[in-house]
Amino acid sequence: MASLGSAPPALPRHVAVIMDGNGRWAALRGLPRVEGHRMGVRAVRTVVECARELGIPFLTLYAFSLENWGRPEPEVRTLMSLLQKFLRSELPEMLRQGIRLRVIGDTSTLPLPVRHVLSRTMSATAGNSGMTLTLGLSYAGRNEIVRAAQALAADAAAGTIRPGAVTEEVFASRLDTAGMPDPDLVIRTSGELRVSNFLLWQSAYAEYVFTDVLWPDFGKTEFLLALEEFSRRHRRYGLTGEQAGSPPAK
Ligand code: FPP
């Protein structure tokens, strides 16, 4: 890949992406929706490579939501097959680039061959420390929160935790993202201005960047533009601009 040269100054530690617009990309070209997903895989490769090259430690991609199971069966099958192929073909590259793979979501609902390749890839890359690539698969934020609440309620019922001991930190440690920093930047492509059940707990203080670009057209330039926009934001975490060190309003 060409050098990124003009890397923006304030890089986020964790970038999360809602990859949207594959279907519309295909429809605009008179192609079946699955062609949009195929081209979407190419964009995934580009963004992973770009994030790794820039030194972003955490990249999370929303690849398949819990709600996506409701799509036509052939589309779901194609998405599962693309995912399987991606994991198989990218393993050597992940090892070369020091990328660790993680998954968030209710993976028990994934087809067995997908679960196998996922678990093989996660084991093979577990020792990598260059970047953590997390895929949201069969993922939904509310479902994740409910699963964490159920696990804590079971512990409370068993007497291994006091209800009063459930702090934000304890709760976060029971989410699928346990141990990961919260996303600093969430990017959504395709012009939709929604959060769509993605990282609901974790994005409490995330900056959002929305772009009209459809996911298969999202490349290095668009990624760098989103990072540049992020670097111009002043994060205040509920404090005043003065307290947070933001420049005075003009
Ligand atoms: C949203 O576009 C995209 C998805 C539901 C799937 C995302 C999947 C990929 C990019 C490819 C597989 C992923 C990996 C990690 C190998 P949409 O279908 O909702 O588009 P539309 O809103 O235009 O219909």
Contact 62, 136 (CB under 8 A): yes
- C-alpha–C-alpha distance, residues 211 and 20, integer Å: 10
Q: Which ranges of the chain have pLDDT less than 70?
A: 1-9, 249-250
Q: Is 22 a catalytic residue?
A: no
Counting from 1 in the atom list of ligand 1, the atom nearest the Cα of 61 is: 15
Task: Identify the pLDDT of residue 4.
Answer: 53
From 17, 18, 22, 69, give the residue whose CB has the most ligand 1 atoms within 8 Å, as the site to mutate: 22
Task: Identify the pLDDT of residue 1.
Answer: 37
Question: Is the sign of the CA dihedral 107, 84, 121, 140 positive or negative?
Answer: negative
SS3 65: strand
**β-sheet bridge partners, residue 64:** 137
DSSP state of 181: P
**Ligand 1 center–CA 62 separation, angstroms:** 8
Tell whether ligand 1 has an atom less than 6 A from the beta carbon of residue 63.
Answer: yes
Environment class of 90 (CB within 10 Å of its CB; exposed 0-12, middle 13-18, buried 19+): buried
- C-alpha–C-alpha distance, residues 130 and 97, integer Å: 7
Contact 210, 40 (CB under 8 A): no
User: Catalytic one among 22, 68, 143, 184?
Assistant: 68
Task: Identify the pLDDT of residue 9.
Answer: 62
From 20, 66, 82, 187, give the residue whose CB has the most ligand 1 atoms within 8 Å, as the site to mutate: 20
Task: Identify the pLDDT of residue 239.
Answer: 84
Among 130, 64, 76, 79, which Cα is nearest to 101's? Answer: 130
Contact 211, 218 (CB under 8 A): yes
Task: Identify the pLDDT of residue 5.
Answer: 53
143-168 per-position pLDDT tens digit: 999 999 999 999 999 999 999 999 99
Task: Identify the pLDDT of residue 8.
Answer: 47
Cα dihedral 234, 6, 15, 19, rounded to 10, equals: 120
Task: Identify the pLDDT of residue 245.
Answer: 82
Task: Identify the pLDDT of residue 10.
Answer: 86
